[in-house]
Structure 1
Amino acid sequence: CLASQYAGWQLSIDDFFGMGSGPMRAAAGREPLFEVIGCTETPVACVGTIECSQWPDEPVVASIAEKTGVAADQILLAVAPTASQAGTVQVVARSVETALHKLHELEFDVSRVVSGFGSAPLPPVAEDDLSGIGRTNDAILYGGTVTLWVTGDDESLAEIGPRVPSSASEAHGQPFLTVFAEAGHDFYQIDPHLFSPAVIRFLNIDTGRVHNFGQVAPDILVESFGI
């Protein structure tokens, strides 16, 4: 999840901007995250996904080729705007990745995670990308439920658990578009602790104990989805 699905590659080349995810991130391996988790690779071909509303042109592909060390004709890119079926699904499908990234940011040893499962409600496709960003984020923040099978002690899970769900953030409790607007439409001005699923469940395979934290907020989802 962290080495591939996480949209951690900001592709900003000339007038083009998109968020990159997929195995091409591991081929590039330039994000600070990889210094911690490793998982880089040197492939002869690679695949990537870009969330954006414009097609990547030759300079964009050339930049990806340079950073991944893969020939341009061996790079396969899937491109979709947020306000599309494909774009909506690929963002909402990141509930487990979002939980793992939050744990990583909290300095939890993610190597303790053996397996994971997550779900989140799929919102209606929005009429524009900004609305799509709001709906897809709300789907995870207020409707995402993640189960992680982990090893190790229970005390650390009990300690970190309340800090993992989106409710741990002071920005929690209002639709993401409202939060985004208050931040001047700058993701980096939003409390990073908000970006997490609504519910996190740890199943400790060493002790058999289960730890549950957070809760879904269907009222906010109804408002966000316009249903």
Structure 2
Amino acid sequence: MSLPTSQPDPAPADAGPTPAPHPDTAPPDGAFPRRPSLARAAAPLVEALVADAEALRLTVFTGPNGARMVDAGITAPGGLEAGRRIAEICLGGLGRVALAPSERFAPWGTLASVSTCDPVLACLGSQYAGWSLAAGDFFALGSGPGRATAAVEPLFEDLGYRERGERVALVLETASVPPAAVVEEIAARCGVAGRDITLILTPTSSLAGTVQIVARVLEVALHKAHALHFPLAHIVDGVGAAPIPPPSPDFLTAMGRTNDATLYGGDVHLFVRGTAAAAQDLARRLPSGASRDHGRPFAEIFAGYECDFYKVDPLLFSPARVTVSALDHGVSFTAGGFDGALIARSFGG
């Protein structure tokens, strides 16, 4: 499971007051620019993933109600390249994910780096794991362009965006095949038939699941910026990177490592419009170090809260280091920092 970004933005009762609205509240032009179609941009990536399934060590099969299922780690082995391509599908076809060597956290020498041509739409409109899907014992967080077709989350009102796709693709963080009731809910919410749905299944403990979760490092920063009431229309561009941990067959360990990759090793650079003071304030409040829960491995934090995500300080879920550049003033502000020792402890070094 990725960072629990499906929780509501306001902090729980024990986490202190909800952050005050940001002082710089109006977009420069009053609205977002015209947006591309997430469904259309992601469709070729989905079809290419299916066409290359054998080479990527994936299994494609027909699930309940005729939905197309892509097993990326439940029984199929999958791999790093599958995870990289799935992460680009999560971004709605508007971003690129690369696996790059780095000595920053040696011996954990590979970073997942993320860039997009529309960070707000790609990350919050598509990649954000914001759709909770449950039936019986099954639960998964859904991400990908299909979220914008359903638009069941209040976030889409803030984005001013809704998709009208004839085909729906979602990535589910799950170790089991979704039942018919989940497929039926997706079909009803999106207004499509079951045969027009593609569900890509990525367990947290798999290689593909690990990569696609770590590749959310930029999305996590944008989600927290939104929680801090920074105007989304002011965010022009951004890039991010985080180290890829070794997966673990133990779910709690695997989840802890993918969270720690961002919380203690994530690096994000945002380019924003607005005042220099607003950019500086965002840089100060954005890193994970601003949280009261910062400083321990996430698995330890999570266990200490009796495995209840909603007791964890929501301000924790953000990159370790953040740089914010104010485009209108030519100045940049950096806050936070990496914790290589904690990364090594978490990753099993």
Q: State the TM-score, normalizing by the size of structure 2.
A: 0.64
1:81–1:129 contact (8 Å) kept in structure 2 = no
Q: Are residues 1:75 and 2:183 paired? A: no
Q: Distance in 1 between matches of 2:182 and 2:126?
A: 19
Per the alignment, residue 119 of structure 1 pairs with 241
Once the two structures are TM-superposed, the CA of residue 136 in structure 1 deviates from its matched residue by: 0.1
Q: What SS does the corresponding residue of 1:123 show, helix, strand or coil? A: coil
Once the two structures are TM-superposed, the CA of residue 164 in structure 1 deviates from its matched residue by: 0.6
Equivalent pairs counted in the alignment come to 227
Q: Distance in 1 between matches of 2:281 and 2:247?
A: 38
Per the alignment, residue 10 of structure 1 pairs with 132
Q: Distance in 1 between matches of 2:214 and 2:203?
A: 13
Once the two structures are TM-superposed, the CA of residue 51 in structure 1 deviates from its matched residue by: 0.2
Once the two structures are TM-superposed, the CA of residue 14 in structure 1 deviates from its matched residue by: 1.8
Once the two structures are TM-superposed, the CA of residue 183 in structure 1 deviates from its matched residue by: 1.2
Per the alignment, residue 17 of structure 2 pairs with none
Per the alignment, residue 183 of structure 2 pairs with 61
Q: Distance in 1 between matches of 2:161 and 2:320?
A: 28
**1:147-162 equivalences in 2 (<5 Å):** 147-162=269-284
**1:20-99 equivalences in 2 (<5 Å):** 20-99=142-221
What are structure 2's unaligned runs of at least 5 residues?
Answer: 1-122
Q: Distance in 2 between matches of 1:205 and 1:224?
A: 37
**1:131-146 equivalences in 2 (<5 Å):** 131-146=253-268
- What amino acid does structure 1 have at the position aligned with 2:145? P
Q: What SS does the corresponding residue of 1:4 show, helix, strand or coil? A: helix
RMSD of equivalent CA atoms: 0.9
Per the alignment, residue 224 of structure 1 pairs with 346
Larger Rg: 2
Q: Distance in 2 between matches of 1:120 and 1:217?
A: 12
Report which structure shows greater RCO (CA 8 Å, sep ≥6). 2
1:42–1:69 contact (8 Å) kept in structure 2 = no
Q: What SS does the corresponding residue of 2:125 show, helix, strand or coil? A: coil
Q: Distance in 2 between matches of 1:124 and 1:176?
A: 15
Q: What SS does the corresponding residue of 2:210 show, helix, strand or coil? A: helix
2:239–2:270 contact (8 Å) kept in structure 1 = yes
Mean CA deviation greater in 49-58 or 32-41 = 32-41
Q: Distance in 2 between matches of 1:25 and 1:122?
A: 26
Runs (4+) of structure 1 moved beyond 4 Å? none
Post-superposition Cα deviations, 1:3-60, rounded to whole Å, max 9, x if no partner, equal 1101011111122101111111111111111121122112111110000111112221
Per the alignment, residue 175 of structure 1 pairs with 297
Q: Distance in 2 between matches of 1:192 and 1:180?
A: 12
Q: Distance in 2 between matches of 1:128 and 1:68?
A: 34
Q: What SS does the corresponding residue of 1:2 show, helix, strand or coil? A: helix
Q: Distance in 2 between matches of 1:114 and 1:214?
A: 22
Per the alignment, residue 203 of structure 1 pairs with 325
What are structure 1's unaligned runs of at least 5 residues?
Answer: none
Q: What SS does the corresponding residue of 1:77 show, helix, strand or coil? A: strand
- What amino acid does structure 2 have at the position aligned with 1:8? G
Q: Distance in 1 between matches of 2:182 and 2:143?
A: 14
- What amino acid does structure 2 have at the position aligned with 1:74? D
- What amino acid does structure 2 have at the position aligned with 1:83? S
Q: Percent identity?
A: 47
2:282–2:324 contact (8 Å) kept in structure 1 = no
1:3–1:25 contact (8 Å) kept in structure 2 = yes
Q: State the TM-score, normalizing by the size of structure 1.
A: 0.97
Q: Distance in 1 between matches of 2:239 and 2:312?
A: 26
Q: Distance in 1 between matches of 2:233 and 2:130?
A: 19
- What amino acid does structure 1 have at the position aligned with 2:218? V
Once the two structures are TM-superposed, the CA of residue 162 in structure 1 deviates from its matched residue by: 1.5
